Amino acid sequence: MHPEQIQTLIEQGLPGARAEVSGPDGVHFEARVICAAFAGQLPLARHRMVYAALGELMGGAIHALSLKTLTPEEAARA
- pLDDT higher than threshold 90 for residue 59: no
What's the total number of domains in the chain?
1
Residue 34 domain boundaries: 3-77
Could you tell me the CATH number of the domain that includes residue 10?
A: 3.30.300.90
Task: Give whole-number Cα distances, 17 to 27, 62, 73, in Å.
Answer: 22, 20, 13
Which residue blocks in 1-78 are alpha helix, DSSP H? 3-13, 43-54, 72-77
Task: Give whole-number Cα distances, 56 to 5, 19, 53, 70, 71, in Å.
Answer: 14, 19, 9, 23, 25
Q: Which residues pair with 22 in a beta bridge?
A: 30
The per-residue pLDDT for 48 is 96
**Residue-wise pLDDT tens digits, 24-53:** 888 889 999 999 999 999 999 999 999 999
**Residue-wise pLDDT tens digits, 1-13:** 899 999 999 999 9
Single out the residue of 56, 57, 61, 7 nearest to residue 30, CA to CA.
7
